């Protein structure tokens, strides 16, 4: 929890003494092992999830094929805000790609702090903006059918994902088989 407190203070340039005690009492610290489902797509999202350590991803299956729509790294929000706000079921599972340590915060409390706090709320507003920009970047890159473009995006903007994530998840993000990814990388390195 101290890691999050220091990050909030860094973002806001403010001391959190007045709000931190109540805010931290609403947080739940959890862990997930590699391949563990953090949140199921068949549930309504009632919490905001914040990744402290590790890498998670949004995934779904179609015709027995795993599709990864987005990765979430340390210091990322990874909740489905549409599900939480509209009280509808989530579209993807959130899974741990590596061992993950994360914090959950009830959505209603999150929204109250987001809208009315001048300290922690500033941090949350910045994190939501970052979340929306990253979501747009991932959506934009997913529309490209070119393996090189998608791999280069991860390589340039998310090198930790390439370093710490099994190739089968990278392949599932790009939309190819792990074998095709292996061939692509061999060809790429020999050029």
25 lies in the same domain as 103: yes
133 lies in the same domain as 154: no
DSSP string of 138-180, one letter each residue: HHHHHT---HHHHHHHHHHH-HHHHHHS-HHHHHHHHTS-HHH
Which of 98, 116, 138 delimits the end of a domain? Answer: 138
Nearest Cα residue to 85 out of 107, 65, 113: 107
Structure confidence at residue 3 (pLDDT): 82
93 lies in the same domain as 58: yes
Q: Which residue has the tokens 């929204």?
A: 111
122 lies in the same domain as 182: no
Structure confidence at residue 137 (pLDDT): 92
Structural domain that includes position 9: 2-138
Please give the chain's pLDDT, 191 residues, in tens.
788 888 888 877 777 777 888 999 999 999 999 999 998 888 888 899 999 999 999 998 888 888 999 999 999 998 777 778 888 887 789 999 999 999 999 999 999 999 999 889 989 999 999 999 998 999 899 888 799 999 999 999 999 999 999 999 999 999 999 999 999 999 998 87
56 lies in the same domain as 87: yes
175 lies in the same domain as 121: no
């Amino acid at each position: 929890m101290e890691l999050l407190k220091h990050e909030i203070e860094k973002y806001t340039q403010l001391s959190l003494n007045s709000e931190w005690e109540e805010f931290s009492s609403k947080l739940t610290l959890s862990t997930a092992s590699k391949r563990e489902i953090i949140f199921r797509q068949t549930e309504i999202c009632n919490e905001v999830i914040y990744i402290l350590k590790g890498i998670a991803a949004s995934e779904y299956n179609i015709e027995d094929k795993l599709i990864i729509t987005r990765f979430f790294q340390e210091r990322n929000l990874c909740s489905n805000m549409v599900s939480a706000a509209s009280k509808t079921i989530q579209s993807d599972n959130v899974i741990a790609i590596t061992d993950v340590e994360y914090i959950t915060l009830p959505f209603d409390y999150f929204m109250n702090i987001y809208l009315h706090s001048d300290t922690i709320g500033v941090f949350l507003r910045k994190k939501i903006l970052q979340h929306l920009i990253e979501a747009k970047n991932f959506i934009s890159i997913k529309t490209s059918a070119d393996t090189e473009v998608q791999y280069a995006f991860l390589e340039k903007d998310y090198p930790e994902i390439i370093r710490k994530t099994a190739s089968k998840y990278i392949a599932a993000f790009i939309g190819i088989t792990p074998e095709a990814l292996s061939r692509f990388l061999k060809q790429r390195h020999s050029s």
